[in-house]
Structure 1
Amino acid sequence: MTITTHIKKLYQAIAATSVSISILAAMTSAASAANFQQFKLSGTFANEPFSTDVDGLISQLAGGSFDGTYVVDVDQLPANDDIVDLESWTINLRNSNNDIVRTLSDLALTDLAEAFIFPELPGFSGDILVFVEDEKISEDNFVTTLLGLNFNSDFTGIGTGNLFEQEDGQLAVGTLLRFEDDFGNGIYVTSVTSELQATPEPVSVSGIAVVAAIGFWMKRRQKTIQSA
């Protein structure tokens, strides 16, 4: 099946974003302050794929669910006119028996693994949380797995999915896609929730450096006292 117009626009934007994120990452100083928070993500898939020619992963996820966590610098939210990349993520895709059939992660051994929050795009309603992986299956051929989740505008990591009418008239809060070039298949996401996970008080990157410096100073002081 050919990917619909809205999904094509999203994928084209994501393809451009992949390059932008790499450039921004290279330009960002490691010492810059960041307020990282971890969020829990969970949701459900439709009872059947929206495409007829489905691959193994898509068919396994019919009636299934997903869950996991992601970490983002909340000081960069909401995304507004900028794209905010996630620091880390682990999202488990489960079948209807609750078995994990695939995990999307920043530690994935694939040719590309990225995740970010898109500000509202033309033709879409609200901000989009995206997880994408590319797998090289031959010299010139890649298979892309993309999970796109639609939230309200000014998304700050907490909220439920924003229902969006698809081109076939169905309502969904997101889509999981598997495709090569312009041909792909997928399944709709029927619900999604993102919430702050209870964690220790957040520490900025610069704060971590201060803590490390204090620890180093205390060790040196202790050695000086012992040798005195």
Structure 2
Amino acid sequence: MRYLKKFRNARKFFPLILVLLIFLLLRIPFLNFGKFEWDECVYLSNSRFFLGIGKYFEDIRPPLLPIALIPFLSNDLLLRIAPLLFSTLSLISLYFFSEHFFGRKIAIAASLLLAFNPLHIFFSTKIFTEIPSSIFIILTFFLLFKWIETRDEKEKKRNLSLSALFLSLSVLTRYANVIILVPILIILLLERRKLKLKELSLPLLIFFLCIASFLLSYQLITGNVFRSLY
């Protein structure tokens, strides 16, 4: 009976595993083991600079992707697998987001649409910021919506704080993601009856500390932090 129960628990992940197989089969043939593109080279140069083994540094690039690439710098094969890993995480995060709020059928449909999306297939093999930043965006809204549906005060505070953390990480991965502050502010206004002002103190502190740490580090590196913002 114990093994049967474990099998039943594992069976709920079969749709996700099947979608992942389709997802990977559509992307592995497009893995490029040739030369890196210009933008990829810049992110890799910044990554080596952060590690202390590179001399070229382009300060207009967001910092988080180069930092995330540091564990993959040992060889080119790992660097080619890294974007595929990021894209896989984006599919998994989308699946669990959709399953939690809309049910398993919608989660499967959403994941399949992402799996067959030509633009996503293209970016799944490139060291660009689009897909890694999308993971943080999904997690931001996942936790924000959980904050709305949760009644426990401690859990609400935790969800909102983590949402602020992932929001800051999304911005530090891709600067254009600052635009998602607009829908978040609209959601908070719509849910203002559930929101206490003191609940915003920790999330705001987390968000601004993450951004401030980036600004400080770039100021130390470049001597002019504003160059990285325009």
Q: Does TM, normalized by the shorter one, top 0.5?
A: no
Does 1 or 2 have the higher relative contact order (CA < 8 Å, sep 6+)?
A: 1
Relative to total residues, which structure has the larger helix share, 1 or 2?
A: 2
TM-score, structure 1 length as denominator? Answer: 0.24
Relative to total residues, which structure has the larger strand share, 1 or 2?
A: 1
